[in-house]
A and B are shown apart, each in its own frame.
Chain A
Amino acid sequence: MADRRKKTKIVDSYVTLQAAQRRAQDRPVPTPSEADSAATRPDTSPRKPGTHIGRTVMPTKYEIVCYSCDFMFKITGKAKNTYCPKCRTMLDLADHTITGVCTDELVTAGRVTLSSSAVLDGGRITANDVKLEGTVKSGHLQVHHTLELTEGAVIPEEMIHTRNLKIAAGASISFKRKAVFRDVDVFGEFRANLWAEGLVTVHPGGHLKGKLHASHFTVLEGGGLTADVIVEPKKPQPQTTPSPADKDAHEDKR
């Protein structure tokens, strides 16, 4: 890490702007007489050799799941479309907001927001992320990455097909069936028999109730937990080095 910092010789606009602002805040505006004397005075402050700023503003990375082959990859920054690196399908990354009754088919690798007045009735939505504020009556809702359930969300449990789940602040969601997801973020109230393969995070203001079975679990200060909990991180599998006999057998096969 330290070596990387030494090698970096980047001063970008963001850092320059920050430095200028800091300088402006720190120094009082000099009077004309002070300014004149400062101009004649030689700069005696030692200059630090090799002082470089190794910080750049990196564009955000987004996780995209191909709706054709389910391959997950990351893209940097915003784009209108991209190709799946695995199956070469061109993926539409456009975001959509639905405000009325949806009976059509919508396929995107972007984000779909079903607003509070939206009703999915017989339509078919496939998206990377879905924010549900409205109602899902019938049809098909396939979420490849994260489904966010907000305060007004109404959706039958059996219609939830998502990898990750987010319970928004203010929402109060109850699941009767066993709920299986990868990552779960709880900002609101969530009552479920939850089985998570990834990380469950209870954020400040969030409350998880019911049963929890996960390997990774985090409660941030201010989060609530009223549940029967089984949290056991999976132990890493010991790497078995092949014995000399195995190696010989392998070579013989070749």
Chain B
Amino acid sequence: MATKSLQNGSAEVPIEISTLPPVVGINFGNSYASIAVFTKEGLAECIANEDGERQIACAIAFHGEEMYIGNQAKQQLVKNAPNSIVGFRNLLGKKFSEIPQTENTTSARVIQHPELPDTAAYKVQVLQPSPAPLSNTTSAYTTPAASHAPTPRSEPILVDRILTVSEVVTIFLKSLVKSAEDFLGKQIKGAVISVPSTFTEEQKDALEKAAQDAGVTVLQLLDEAGAAAATTTTPTWSGDSLRPDRTQLLVDFGSSAVSLSLLSVREGLTYILAASNTSAIGANQIDDKLIKFFAADFTKKMKVPLTVCPATSPADQRAEAKLRLAIEHTKRTISASPGAATCSVESLKDGMDFTGSINRMRFDMLGSPIYASVAAEITALLASAAIDPHDVDEVVYIGGTGCLPGLDNRLCTEVGLREDVETPFARGTIVGGGLGDPTTILARGCATQAALIDSIQEEELRAAFGRGHEAREVKATTKTIGVLFPNSLEENKEVGGTWIPVVQKETALPVRRIVSFDVEVTEGSKRIAFEVWEVKEGIRVEKVVQSSLPSSDDEDDEEPEETEIKHRTLAKEVLLGAIDTQAQLAIQTKGKGKDVGKWFTRVEVQFIVSLEGALDVELREVGPDGVVERFHVSAL
């Protein structure tokens, strides 16, 4: 409520100011795309297209005079495969000669454009409406007509239509923007589109051009890691439980590739510590396994032979396409509910219907080898960045496959992440389109980013969001700096006091950090003293031999199990300064509790590390007339 209330009737007629910025975030994947807009509540939200799909399949199909886009087009893969185009994003901006001519795809094949040199294109058959007959009323030479009925149009003609990849992308983007415009009810001013980290500059140029042809201004082409970070650095994401300084592992499990990024998030400022991308693993492999499983099930139940992946006969190919569509639903069910998921296909082969089910355990077994290879990827990535799995604070999943709970469990145990690592599963934000929903993270991030760029007035700042701007290159700290309050508590024996890290390692410079906390002082002296140290953080591995269970008598020769328990360690390296002063505003705790009768004061410690590496430390007691102490450590 407005605090100042007004006289009756003095208010002006409310002016309708729409707070929705007319921008859209587009996550443009190879198999699925999603769109998000900024809602009234100030949150980015993934929206559905006209078909009610939030996950819009990247597919375009032509059938007769009709053109289908999205999930409808995917259905066409069964009956009308040669006229359906899928998987076009990755080909964008590539020359025809660069595209590997391999797989026996059922969908429309990539061909060399008949006119343009070295350009990839698709050939589809469409019915072209024949030109309307000339109306004879305008003709100067009117002849007496036999009847007044207009001349009927002739039948549409079957023609070949050649579409370049860029044109296909344009058509698709246009339909996405149209959906967003329908949702917002006004024209879209700009869009942020996600691109995979593997995209080359030419591909980005091509995407920008395709978007321009679709009538969208591209505000920014955002790396998928960036789009994810745009979501995960919002206050709504971090809530109360997540620390503002954390190391975040992004697992983007796409249908054809897995890309991993290790991010250093420091109060919203994010950069990539290490990244890897492999197209050897993908959710398609899980699909294949699942299809094989159901095909085997079908053969067993119906006694109809069905060989899929790869399928040879046209009947088998069609059955595979049907199954591929049906298992989308199965995967979603198994992600959402703990029970078994069914898969039903009518007339799968030879007119036989199929209904099968799979439970979570069986599913995890099927996926197990793929999960294991993802885990190996992650381990390799962490090793290359010289970061212990124990140091990862948060895992974020991207892509529909990330919804599978088996994956999360498997990765956490196999990579050796900390027990209390934050995952969307641990936080329970994954189900029901929650905050951590892996399928919408990228689109929401793009929308958040689009709204942010839209709100920036300065041209100079806007330019810095472009590709490869030099302002992105930063210096960063290498070691953690913090304050040490000396005491002789048993738990703090290692460093001889209470350690409070202030500026974490891998923080972009220049940086300012302010932390506040309570300090206990003695009634007599009211002394506050602390040291500022630069420390080296490490991991100590403690091997604990578990006593083997007495029941396993028959396997005596088995070695006793060893479990590794990891501890974080600190080693003081450089003493940077010390402050010793008297508190002015200490208050004695009243009431009940363990702290009654003790004297406390609240202090704020501010660290500023300049670009050159100079450090300014300031101690400030919270409240009026509190004690203020500061010192300066100059740069190297």
Are A and B interaction partners? no
Hey, which bits of chain B sit against chain A, CB under 8 A? none
Hey, which bits of chain A sit against chain B, CB under 8 A? none
